[in-house]
Each structure stands twice: as C-alpha cells, then as structure tokens.
Chains A and B, each alone.
Chain A
Amino acid sequence: MRIAIIDYGSGNLCSAAKAFERAARESSLQAEVLVTSHPEDVRLADHIVLPGVGAYADCRAGLDAVDGMVEALNEAVIANGRPFLGICVGLQLLASRGLEYKVTEGLGWIPGDVVSLEPSDPSLKIPHMGWNTVELVRDHPVWAGIPTGPDGLHAYFVHSYHLKAANPAHVLATADYAETVTACVGRDNIIGTQFHPEKSQKLGLALISNFLKWRP
C-alpha cells in the first residue's frame, strides 16, 4: 500500500509520516509512506493525506505553487475515488471558501465556508488549543471502535477557524467549545479532521489505522 502525504511547504510532516508508519505497523499493514511534492506520486498512491498548518491563504497558495498538484488531487480523489484524509488546514482546504483575513477559494469538495471560532463564553481562549472530546454525529468506518462522547478519548486541536459545512450530512463529528466546532467532515471517499490525529496519541493512531483499512 502506498500512502502519499502531500508536502507543499506547510509545516512539519515528519511526525505525520511517523504516525502513519506506526499505525500501519500496528495494524500489520504493509505500507510505504511517502512525503512528496510530486503530483505523480499522488496519482499512484492508494491513500492520500493533505496536512496543513498556518494561514488559509498561505496554504492554498502553497498548494497551487506545486505545479500540477491540484489537478493530480482532483484526478486521484474525485475521478478515481482514492481514500483521502485532510488534516487541520488540509480539512479546511476542502471547503468552498476560506474567510481567514481575506476570501480564498478552497477545493470545493465539502461545500461551506471556513469561518472564525466564536465561542459564546468570552473567557475561552483562541486558538482552541489542546485536548477535547468529540461527539460522533454519524457513524463512519474511520471512527470504528473509537470511544467518543464526554467519556471518550481526546483529540488534539489547535485552530482558530473551522469549516461550517453547507450540508449538515457532511459533518461526521463535532467538539464543544462553547459553540459546536466542526471536528470531522466526510463524504464518499473523502474525510477531514480539524484535530491532528498524528498528535492525538491513542485516538489518533486508531483513526489513522481505520483510515488505512478503509475501502470506500
């Protein structure tokens, strides 16, 4: 199995690669994890991961700066239906638009806007940073066997914006931060997590294992 983690100059991909290697090993999957900026690797991959940290517009510009990458993503994910995971800003890029500082067009795979967090309790800090529990809104294979809800496992979040999906059916999980924060979105072969599975210890490794076993 080939896993392509897309490198477009956004943040640290070393720990993401290590987490995917560990999850594959723990699930007895033969996996080759490739951190790559070559569209061809994305076309040939069985599973595709789009990470992302930093500002929305910078991430979009970074992705566009890799010649042929958006085309390769559309081909592999939309036309060929390969399992896809977007992480943090990598999830946000799936939206129609990002509204951080200015309006930036997203990939449009999960319709909706990426808007700033506005917790109803003004004493809560922004970024939403740290460990939060998640509420599973609808069952999905990547969440199989993972304890969720107030007594469930925690996921590591660090973000100031989130995706408000136009279609509520695209929201798979939420987190509570004095507002309902979009924690996980998905449709067809596409999934995205606002939290960082590669930093979320037990929950994160379980979700990555499920993603690698997922055959949508």
Chain B
Amino acid sequence: MLKARVIPCLDVKDGRVVKGVNFVDLKDAGDPVESAKAYDAAGADELCFLDITASHENRGTILDVVRRTAEECFMPVTVGGGIRTTDNIRDLLKAGADKVSINTAAVLRREFIREASEKFGAQCIVASVDAKRVSKEGEPLKWEIFTHGGRTPTGIDAIEYAQEVVDLGAGEILLTSMDRDGTKIGFDIDLTRKIADMLTVPVIASGGVGTLEHLVEGVRDGHATAVLAASIFHFGEYSIREAKDYMVKAGIPMRMDLDK
C-alpha cells in the first residue's frame, strides 16, 4: 500500500540552509547538500529545497545545490522559490530536480500552471498555496492567499485558488499555513482537511510542526498524504527515524526501509 511521506524542507539562501521563524530572523543550519545526504541516509521520503531569496538574488547557487544533490541522493527532490518562467523550470529539472513548486508566479498569472503542466507534465508541477486565516472568531472559516513569504495579501480565496490550480494541471499541492509557519504549534488542521478532502491530487501539509504528534495530526486529522517540516529536523530535535517510528505507532503506514 501507499505510505505517507515525511519531507524535510531545506530553506536555502546563497547556497546555505536557513530556517526563518515566520520567514524573518534567519538562522544558518549548514550546507544543503550535506543535509540532503544526511536526510537521504536517514530515510526521508522526499526532499524539498526552498530558495527563499530567489526573487532578489542570484539563482545560480540553487542550481548548483540541486546538481550536487542529484549526484548523491536517489530520492525525489522538489525545488521551489522564485520560479517565474518555463525556462526556470527546465533549468531546475535539468539540474536534477524532479518537481518544482510554483508560488507567486501562479498567483499573478494562473495560466502559468497550465503552461508548465503541459510542457513538463502534471507529475512535476507542485502548486504552492500559502494561506492565512482571515475570518474572525465566530465567522465561517476563510483563508486568503499571501505572497512574498506571507507579507503580501492578495484578496484571493485560498480554497478557490487550490481548486483552480489543480484544474489547470497542478499534480500536487504544497499547502502552507502562514499563521502557523515557524510557530511550532502544529498545522492548521481545518485548512488542511478542507483542501485535502476537496482535491483529487495529493496535498503536502506544511507550516507549524513543533512535535511529532503534529506530523500525525497532519495525516490523521488533516488528511494530507505528506507532511513537511524544517526546523524540528534541522536542529536535531527529532530525527527522521524518530518521526516515522512515532507515526507508525500512531497507526499511520510509513515506509521503513532502512533496516531491510
């Protein structure tokens, strides 16, 4: 049977791993390729590189990181951050990425998802949905799409947007709660479940993981098929193996190939 996936995300800036709390106040957590190798050896199910400052800075560094990773790691690699054109996608896939996650460019121009999906196939187009809760207490739940690392509101309804990008050809959704990102208080389960239940494509839950129980909640309660986390893994609070052991004990089928 298909297993739930645990995806460590490496936020990369200038070729180095960082993880910001709510996307500011960045800390340095090392060389991305070394981290990728360690996660590969530890049994991570997939890797995600997020080039967080790609819009302002030299994109060449991420291509080099991806290229060096592909030489060492034989697992799926997703790269996001600053992808604006089909040429950007082609460069990343050629460097060794398997999937790309598209964020702002699709918010600005939805058709970009269709073009990318038609050119490279839905299987490698991940639509990134950065959502912030905008409903007040007591009101019906409502989330809005934010861009630029959660700084810029767009007025776009997140639920409608997720459905739209899937209709345009996205093969997977990377769903990040901008309220929870960096807070370590757990996923926004209402948001995750609402989108996961609505869509026919896999949903990766992201934003807010602080404990192993949060990973369980993302799959069990949020109905995500994959869970993404960064800092709990980078800073050695938990290993990938501890995470998967914990999820197995909670009754979630996981891939435990390391000992076989």
Contacts and interface: CB of A to CB of B under 8 A. Distances in A.
B2 A15 contact: no
Nearest to A208: B74
A129 B255 contact: no
B74 A11 contact: no
B142 interface: no
Given A133-B1, A196-B76, 5 more contacts: A14-B95, A53-B121, A55-B118, A125-B203, A154-B257
Of listed B98, B118, B123, B124, residue having the most chain A CB within 10 A: B123
Given A154-B257, A159-B123, A18 B202 contact: no
Question: Interface residues of A: mostly helix, strand, loop or mixed?
Answer: mixed
Contact of A153 (B94, B118, B124, B260): B260
Contact of A199 (B3, B76, B121, B200): B76
Interface of A: 11-12, 14-15, 18-19, 22, 53-55, 58, 124-133, 147, 150-154, 156-160, 176-177, 196, 198-205
Contact of B93 (A12, A125, A147): A12
B260 to A, nearest CB: 5
A34 B92 CA distance: 21
Contact of A11 (B4, B95, B124, B200): B124
Contacts of A154: 3, 255, 257
A130 B226 contact: yes
Interface string B200-232: 111100000000000000000000011000000
Contact of A126 (B201, B226, B257, B260): B201
Contacts of B201: 125-127
Contacts of A129: 123, 171-172, 202, 225
B96 interface: yes
Contacts of B71: 18
Contacts of B203: 125
Contacts of B255: 131, 154
Nearest to B171: A127
A54 B40 CA distance: 25
A14 B94 contact: yes
Interface in B76-119: 76-77, 93-98, 118
B46 to A, nearest CB: 8
Interface string B246-260: 000000000101001
Of listed A15, A126, A152, A199, residue having the most chain B CB within 10 A: A15
B121 to A, nearest CB: 3
Contacts of A131: 2-3, 5, 45, 255
Nearest to A200: B74
B84 to A, nearest CB: 19
B64 to A, nearest CB: 13
B1 A11 contact: no
Contacts of A176: 1
Contacts of A201: 40, 74-75, 257
A159 B199 CA distance: 17
Interface string B169-207: 001100000000000000000000000000111110000
A175 B5 CA distance: 17
Nearest to A23: B74
13 contacts: A14-B67, A14-B94, A14-B96, A125-B203, A127-B123, A129-B172, A129-B202, A130-B3, A131-B5, A131-B45, A132-B2, A151-B260, A153-B257
B94 to A, nearest CB: 6
Given A53-B121, A154-B255, A154-B257, A205 B2 contact: no
Nearest to B172: A129
**6 closest Cβ contacts across the A-B interface?**
A54-B121, A131-B255, A12-B93, A154-B255, A125-B202, A15-B70
A11 to B, nearest CB: 6
A132 B1 contact: yes
Contact of B225 (A58, A130, A156, A198): A130
Nearest to A88: B123
B122 interface: yes
Contacts of A204: 74
Contacts of B3: 130-132, 154
A11 B121 contact: yes
B98 A55 contact: no
A55 B96 contact: no
A9 B46 CA distance: 24
